[in-house]
C-alpha cells in the first residue's frame, strides 16, 4: 500500500485503454475468422492491429514487472496476468479490474456484492464464450465429420457448454477444438459456482436481516 503507489497509479491509468485494446483485439480476430473472403490487404491490416494490441499488452506487463521489483516472483504472484499476456483472448477474465477502475472514476460502487458477482460472471461468460466460439469455429471449420457448419452453430455450442447443458448436437471433433472446449467447461463450472454461490449467500443475508437475529425463524410470537 505504501511503496507500490507507482504501480497502482500505472494500473489505474492503463486499465481502461488496455480494456479497449483487448476489445479491438477480439473484434479484429472476429473479422479474421469470419470474413474469409476479405481482400488480403484488409486482412493484413487486421493482423497488424492485433499485433499492435498484443504489443501493448506485453509492454504493460513488462512495465508492471519492472515497477513491482519482485523479479521472477512477479510471475507467480500475477499468474492470471501472465496467462493473459500469452493468450490475449482470455483478457475478458480481467473484467473485474476494469469494472473497478470504471467505478473508481464514477465515485463509490453502487452495486451490492451479489449484484457485482453476477455482473462479473455474466460479462465474463459472454466475452469468453464469444472468444472460444471464434477460436473453435476457426479450428473446426471444414474438419471431417464436424456438425459445426456456421458461426451460429459455434455460438450455440458455446452456450450449451457454459451452462453445462451439453446437448451434444454440435461438438468439437478436432484436438485443438476439444482443448478449448475443456477450458470453457471449467469456466462453466466456475460460472455455475458464482451464480449459485452468490444466490446462496444473498439468501442467507436476506434471511438474517428479515428474521431479526439468531437462529430461528421469525421471532416467537408471545
Nearest-angstrom CA–CA distance, 163 and 159: 6
Which residue number, 91 or 114, has a Cβ lying nearer to a copy of itself? 114
Q: Which lies closer to a copy of itself via its Cβ, residue 1 or residue 40? A: 1
Up-side HSE of residue 180: CA atoms within 13 Å toward CB?
Answer: 25
Task: Supply the minimum distance, in Å, between the C-beta of residue 184 and a copy of itself.
Answer: 9
Binding site for a copy of itself (CB under 8 A): 112-114, 117, 152, 156, 159-161, 163-169, 171, 175, 178, 181-182, 185-186, 188-211, 213-221
Q: Judge contact between 24 and 49, C-beta under 8 A.
A: yes
CB neighbourhood size of 210 (10 A): 9
Query: Cβ of 198: how many Cβ atoms within 10 Å?
Result: 19
Cell digits of residue 142: 471444414
Closer to a copy of itself by Cβ: residue 22 or 146: 146
List all residues 6 or more positions away from 191 whose beta carbon is below 8 Å from its beta carbon: 121, 124, 125, 162
Nearer to a copy of itself, 57 or 114 (CB): 114
- Write down the least CB distance from residue 96 to a copy of itself, Å: 12
How near is the Cβ of 72 to a copy of itself at its closest, in Å? Answer: 18
**C-beta closer to a copy of itself: residue 42 or 207:** 207
Q: Which grid coordinates are listed for 131? A: 472468444
Q: How far is the CB of 98 from a copy of itself (least distance, A)?
A: 19
Q: How far is the CB of 173 from a copy of itself (least distance, A)?
A: 8
Amino acid at each position: 500500500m505504501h511503496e507500490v503507489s507507482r504501480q497502482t497509479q500505472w494500473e489505474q491509468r492503463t486499465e481502461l485503454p488496455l480494456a479497449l485494446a483487448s476489445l479491438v483485439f477480439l473484434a479484429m480476430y472476429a473479422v479474421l475468422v469470419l470474413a474469409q473472403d476479405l481482400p488480403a490487404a484488409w486482412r493484413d491490416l487486421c493482423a497488424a492491429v492485433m499485433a499492435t494490441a498484443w504489443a501493448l499488452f506485453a509492454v504493460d506487463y513488462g512495465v508492471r514487472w519492472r515497477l513491482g521489483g519482485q523479479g521472477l516472483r512477479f510471475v507467480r504472484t500475477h499468474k492470471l496476468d501472465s496467462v493473459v499476456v500469452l493468450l490475449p483472448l482470455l483478457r475478458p477474465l480481467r473484467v473485474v479490474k476494469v469494472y473497478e477502475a470504471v467505478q473508481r472514476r464514477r465515485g463509490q460502487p453502487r452495486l451490492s456484492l451479489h449484484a457485482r458477482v453476477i455482473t462479473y460472471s455474466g460479462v465474463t461468460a459472454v466475452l469468453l464464450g464469444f472468444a472460444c466460439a471464434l477460436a473453435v469455429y476457426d479450428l473446426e471449420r471444414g474438419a471431417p465429420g464436424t456438425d459445426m457448419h456456421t458461426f451460429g452453430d459455434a455460438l450455440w455450442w458455446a452456450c450449451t457448454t457454459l451452462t453445462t447443458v451439453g446437448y451434444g448436437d454440435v461438438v468439437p471433433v478436432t484436438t485443438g477444438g476439444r482443448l478449448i472446449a475443456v477450458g470453457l467447461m471449467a469456466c462453466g463450472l466456475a460460472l455455475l459456482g458464482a451464480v449459485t454461490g452468490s444466490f446462496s449467500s444473498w439468501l442467507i443475508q436476506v434471511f438474517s436481516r428479515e428474521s431479526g437475529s439468531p437462529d430461528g425463524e421469525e421471532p416467537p410470537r408471545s
